[in-house]
Each structure stands twice: as structure tokens, then as C-alpha cells.
Amino acid sequence: MENYRNFVGGEYVDAVDGRRADLVDPSTGEVFGSAPVSGPEDVDRALRVASTSTHA
């Protein structure tokens, strides 16, 4: 099973509050992974990092 993470500032990070959601294949109903449920704090962190990034 794949456990995906957010990609922020060149690093993979979990959601601040640790919440996750199952990813379900609609053709089989099987759970094939999980992904972070990003909230406002996660968005703020990503924007803060992006605004200070030197990458174009």
C-alpha cells in the first residue's frame, strides 16, 4: 500500500495534524494507499516556503 505525503520545499512532509484519507480504486473498491488531508496550516506552510524559495 502506498502512503503519499505532501511535497513542500523539496521535502516530503505529513499533514500538520496527521490526518490521512484512504485512496480507493473505484473499479475494485480496494484501498491502494493513503494521502494526507491537508488543512489551512499545511497550505500556510507551503505558501510560506514557496514565497522564500530561490527556485524559479
pLDDT tens across 1-38, in order? Answer: 999 999 999 999 999 999 999 999 999 999 999 999 99
Q: What pTM, to 2 d.p., does this model score?
A: 0.77
> Quick check: 55 pLDDT over 70?
no
Long-range contacts made by residues 5-14, C-beta under 8 angstroms, separation at least 24? 5/36, 6/36, 6/38, 6/42, 6/46, 8/42, 8/45, 8/46, 8/49, 9/49, 9/50, 9/53, 13/45
